[in-house]
C-alpha cells in the first residue's frame, strides 16, 4: 500500500516539473514572430530617420557651407527651428587618402562653425552623420551635392575619383564597374549587402582632363569607413564592406613640361601680298585659338607655351576671314571722280581702298615637325617632347568690296540758292536695282544716308545685272536760281559708271528698251550712279520742267 502511494506521489512531482519547463518554452517559441516584427519595425524606423535627416539637410535645416579658406571651417546655419544633427566624423582628403578630423562626435543644435585642420585647405571633405548619411562637399560649396543613405539592411558605398595636381585636388568622373552592376560614372552610390566585391576602373591607367589640359596616371585606390581593400595599386581589385564606406580612385597629374610652339600655315597674318596689279595688306594680325579651353591669340611668329606631358586640345577656327586693304594704281580715275572718299585714299599715285578684299580660309589639319608630338585628330595632340604644332589652312573663298555712291546734280547753269534738305552730290537714296544672276535675289544700291556711301561684299565671280535705275523724288523747299521755287524735285537717271581693277566703263540703263548691263565681281568695284534734277513741283500745285 505504501509502495503504491509513493509511485503516485513521484508521478505528480514529475508532471509538475515537466509543465514548468514546457509552458515557458511554448511561450518563447510563440513569441518569436513578435520579436521578428519588432526588428522589422525598428529597421523601418531607422530608415525613416535617415530619410528625415536627409530631407532636413537638403531643405537647409541646417544649411551647411564649406568655407575652404586658409583657416577652413564648416558653417552650420539654421533658418528655422533647429533640427539636431549628430556628426560622427568629418574626413578631408590629404592628396592620397581620407583623414579623420574629429576626435569625438559633435551634436549640431544651433548656428555653429566647425574648424578644420589647415591641411584641409582647398580639399574636398566628407561629413558622416549618426544616421549613416554621407555628405560630400567640394571647397566653397554647400551640402546639396551627394548624400548616401539606402534601404534597410543595405550598406551604402560611395565611389569617387580625384586627380592630384601638385598641391591641388581635382574631382573627376571615371567609369567604374562594381560587382555585377553595369558601368557607371563617379561619383556613384551603391547599396550593398555586407560582403566582398570586385571593382574595376574602366578608364584605364591614363586619363585626360580636357578642361585643365592635364594627363593623369592611376596611382591607387583608397578606402575610408567600414571595410578593407585588397591590392589598392591595381585598376581592378576587391574590397570587403561591413558598413558605410567611401572608395576613391587616385590619379596623379603629369607635371613634366615641354616647350611647344603653336603656329599657322598659309594664313597671311599681318603680312603683305603682291598679286599682279594689286597689293593686299592684311588687317588681321592674330587668330584666336582655344588651347585646353583657354583662348589665346597667335600672330605670324607663333605662340610658345609650356605644355605638360600627355593629351592637349588645340582648336583652330574651322573658317577664318582675313580682311585686306586693296591698293592699285588702276583706281586713280575712280578716286578723282568719287564724290565721297570715305575709306579711300591716294598716295604716290596708288589708291588704297580700306577693306577692299576679304579672304575666307578653311582649316584642314594639324601637323607637327617632330615624332615627340603625336597628332591624334584635328584637335587633339599627345605631347611627349618639345616641338611645333601647325594649324594648316587653305583659301576657301574670296569676297570683294562694292562701293555704291550717288551723284545728283542740276542742269548746267542752274543751282539751288536755298534748299531745306540736302540736294547736291551724294545724298541718301538707293535708285539702282540689280539682280544677282543665278538667284532670285534683287537688291538696290546707293547711299544709305546723306554722304554715306553703301559698302557691301560679294563673292568672287558674282554677276549683278542692272534691272532698273529709279527716278528719285525729293520733298522740301528749294529756291532754284533762274527757275523759281519748288516744294519737290524729281531726278532722271543719266548713267552708271563702274570702276574695277581693269578699267572703268559706263552703262546707260534703260530697262524699257532692254538695255540693262551686267557688272562682274572679280575685283573691288566702285559704282557711281549719276542722276540729274529735271523736274520740280511748284508750291501752288502743278509742276515745272
**480 vs 536: CA distance, rounded Å:** 10
pLDDT at 10 over 70: no
- The alpha carbon dihedral of 334, 337, 342, 345 has a sign of positive
State whether residue 485 is helix, strand or coil.
Answer: strand
Structure pTM?
A: 0.73
Q: What is the DSSP string of 133-144?
A: -EEEE-TT-BS-
For 420-436, the DSSP string reads SS--SBS-SEEEEEEEE
- Closest to 136 in 3D by CA, of 95, 94, 93: 93
pLDDT at 78 over 50: yes
Strand partners for 527? 404, 498
Report the pLDDT value the prediction gives residue 431, as an integer from 0 to 100: 94
| Residues whose CB falls within 8 Å of the CB of residue 65, separated by 6 or more in sequence, listed in order | 74, 75, 77, 141, 142, 143
Q: 49: phi > 0 → left, psi -120 to 50 → alpha, else beta; which?
A: alpha
Is there a contact between 247 and 199 (Cβ–Cβ < 8 Å)?
yes
CB count within 10 Å of CB 153 equals 11
Q: Which residue is it, cell 509511485?
A: 7
| Helix H or strand E encompassing 462 | none
Asked if 65 contacts 85 with a C-beta cutoff of 8 angstroms, the reply is no
Apex 160 CA angle, 156 and 161, nearest 5: 165
Q: What is the pLDDT of residue 15?
A: 52
Write the DSSP symbol of residue 524: -
Q: Which three cell numbers stand for residue 407?
A: 551723284
Comparing C-alpha atoms, which of 536, 425, 409, 421 is closest to residue 484?
536
pLDDT at residue number 135:
81
Give residue 494's pLDDT band: very low, low, confident or very high (50, 70, 90).
Answer: very high
pLDDT band, very low/low/confident/very high, at 7 (cuts 50, 70, 90): low
pLDDT tens-digit series, residues 224-281: 778 899 999 999 999 999 887 889 898 999 999 999 999 999 999 999 999 888 999 9
Nearest to 444 by CA among 529, 339, 357: 529
Which residue spans within 256-413 are E strands per DSSP?
A: 257-265, 272-275, 278-282, 287-291, 294-298, 303-308, 310-315, 319-328, 344-347, 350-368, 373-375, 380-383, 387-409
Q: Higher-confidence residue: 330 or 1?
A: 330
Q: CA-to-CA distance for 245 and 229, rounded, in angstroms?
A: 11
pLDDT tens by residue, 191-217: 899 999 999 999 888 999 887 889 999
CA–CA dist 139, 466 (Å, integer): 68
Mean pLDDT of the region 442-448: 95
Length of the chain: 545
Fold of 154-255: Immunoglobulin-like (2.60.40)
Q: How far apart are CA 275 and CA 294, in angstroms?
A: 36
Q: How far apart are CA 221 and CA 200, in angstroms?
A: 10
Contacts for 417-424 with beta carbons within 8 Å, 24 or more apart? 417/479, 417/480, 417/481, 418/477, 418/478, 418/479, 419/476, 419/477, 419/478, 419/479, 420/476, 420/477, 420/478, 421/474, 421/475, 421/476, 422/450, 422/451, 423/474, 423/476, 423/478, 423/489, 423/533
Q: What are the DSSP E strand ranges found in 448-537?
A: 454-459, 463-469, 473-480, 484-499, 504-507, 518-520, 525-537
pLDDT higher than threshold 70 for residue 160 = yes
- Per-residue pLDDT, averaged over 109-137, amounts to 85
C-alpha cell at 493: 537717271
The per-residue pLDDT for 47 is: 64
CA separation for the pair 530, 405 (Å, rounded): 9
How do the domains of the chain map onto residue ranges?
43-150, 154-255, 261-399, 401-544
| The pLDDT of residue 511 is above 90 | no
Q: Tell me, rounded to whole angstroms, the distance of Cα 356 from its chain centroid.
A: 34
Supply angle C-alpha 99, 159, 213, rounded to 5: 90
Instruction: Please give the mean pLDDT across all residues of the chain.
Output: 86
Fold of 43-150: Immunoglobulin-like (2.60.40)
Mean pLDDT, residues 328-336 = 93
Cβ atoms of 331 and 503 closer than 8 Å: no
pLDDT at residue number 27: 39
43-150 and 154-255 have identical folds: yes
3-class secondary structure per residue, 501-517: CCCEEEECCEHHHCECC
Query: Which pLDDT does position 386 carry in this prediction?
Result: 98
6: pLDDT strictly greater than 60: no
Bridge partners for 326 per DSSP: 280, 353
pLDDT in tens, 358-395: 999 999 999 999 999 999 999 999 999 999 999 999 99
pLDDT tens readout for residues 53-65: 878 887 888 989 9
Amino acid at each position: 500500500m505504501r509502495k503504491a502511494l509513493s509511485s503516485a506521489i513521484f508521478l505528480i512531482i514529475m508532471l509538475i516539473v515537466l509543465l514548468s519547463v514546457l509552458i515557458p518554452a511554448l511561450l518563447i517559441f510563440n513569441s518569436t514572430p513578435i520579436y521578428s516584427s519588432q526588428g522589422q519595425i525598428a529597421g523601418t524606423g531607422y530608415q525613416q530617420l535617415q530619410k528625415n535627416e536627409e530631407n532636413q539637410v537638403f531643405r537647409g535645416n541646417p544649411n551647411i557651407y564649406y568655407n575652404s579658406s586658409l583657416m577652413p571651417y564648416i558653417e552650420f546655419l539654421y533658418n528655422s527651428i533647429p533640427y539636431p544633427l549628430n556628426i560622427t566624423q568629418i574626413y578631408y582628403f590629404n592628396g592620397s587618402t581620407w583623414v579623420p578630423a574629429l576626435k569625438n562626435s559633435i551634436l549640431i543644435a544651433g548656428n555653429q562653425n566647425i574648424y578644420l585642420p589647415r591641411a584641409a585647405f582647398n580639399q574636398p571633405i566628407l561629413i558622416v552623420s549618426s544616421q549613416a548619411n554621407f555628405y560630400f562637399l567640394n571647397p566653397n560649396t554647400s551640402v546639396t551635392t551627394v548624400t548616401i543613405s539606402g534601404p534597410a539592411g543595405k550598406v551604402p558605398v560611395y565611389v569617387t575619383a580625384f586627380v592630384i595636381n601638385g598641391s591641388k585636388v581635382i574631382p573627376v568622373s571615371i567609369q567604374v564597374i562594381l560587382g555585377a552592376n553595369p558601368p557607371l560614372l563617379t561619383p556613384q552610390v551603391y547599396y550593398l549587402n555586407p560582403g566582398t566585391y570586385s571593382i574595376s576602373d574602366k578608364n584605364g591607367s591614363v586619363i585626360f582632363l580636357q578642361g585643365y589640359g592635364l594627363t593623369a596616371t592611376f596611382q591607387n585606390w583608397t578606402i575610408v569607413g567600414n571595410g578593407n581593400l585588397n591590392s589598392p595599386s591595381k585598376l581592378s581589385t576587391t574590397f570587403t564592406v561591413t558598413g558605410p564606406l567611401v572608395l576613391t580612385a587616385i590619379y596623379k597629374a603629369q607635371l613634366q613640361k615641354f616647350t611647344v610652339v603653336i603656329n599657322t600655315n598659309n594664313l597671311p597674318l599681318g603680312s603683305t601680298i603682291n598679286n599682279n596689279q594689286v597689293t593686299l595688306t592684311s588687317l588681321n594680325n592674330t587668330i584666336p585659338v582655344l588651347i585646353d579651353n583657354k583662348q589665346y591669340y597667335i600672330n605670324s611668329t607663333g605662340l610658345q607655351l609650356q605644355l605638360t606631358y600627355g593629351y592637349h586640345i588645340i582648336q583652330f577656327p574651322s573658317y577664318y576671314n582675313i580682311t585686306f586693304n586693296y591698293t592699285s594704281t588702276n583706281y586713280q580715275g575712280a578716286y578723282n571722280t568719287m564724290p565721297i572718299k570715305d575709306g579711300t585714299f591716294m598716295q604716290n599715285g596708288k589708291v588704297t581702298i580700306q577693306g577692299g578684299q576679304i579672304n575666307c580660309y578653311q582649316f584642314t589639319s594639324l601637323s607637327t615637325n617632330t615624332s615627340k608630338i603625336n597628332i591624334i585628330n584635328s584637335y587633339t595632340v599627345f605631347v611627349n617632347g618639345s616641338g611645333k604644332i601647325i594649324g594648316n589652312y587653305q583659301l576657301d573663298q574670296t569676297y570683294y568690296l562694292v562701293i555704291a555712291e550717288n551723284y545728283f546734280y542740276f542742269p548746267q547753269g542752274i543751282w539751288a540758292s536755298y534748299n531745306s534738305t540736302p540736294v547736291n552730290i551724294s545724298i541718301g537714296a538707293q535708285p539702282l536695282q540689280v539682280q544677282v544672276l543665278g538667284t532670285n535675289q534683287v537688291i538696290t544700291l546707293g547711299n544709305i544716308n546723306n554722304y554715306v556711301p553703301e559698302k557691301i561684299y560679294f563673292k568672287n565671280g558674282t554677276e549683278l545685272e542692272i534691272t532698273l535705275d529709279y527716278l528719285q523724288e525729293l520733298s522740301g523747299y528749294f529756291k532754284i536760281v533762274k527757275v523759281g521755287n519748288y516744294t519737290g524735285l524729281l531726278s532722271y537717271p543719266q548713267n552708271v559708271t563702274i570702276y574695277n581693277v581693269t578699267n572703268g566703263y559706263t552703262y546707260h540703263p534703260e530697262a524699257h528698251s532692254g538695255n540693262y548691263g551686267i557688272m562682274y565681281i572679280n575685283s573691288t568695284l566702285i559704282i557711281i550712279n549719276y542722276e540729274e534734277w529735271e523736274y520740280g513741283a511748284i508750291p501752288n500745285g502743278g509742276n515745272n520742267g
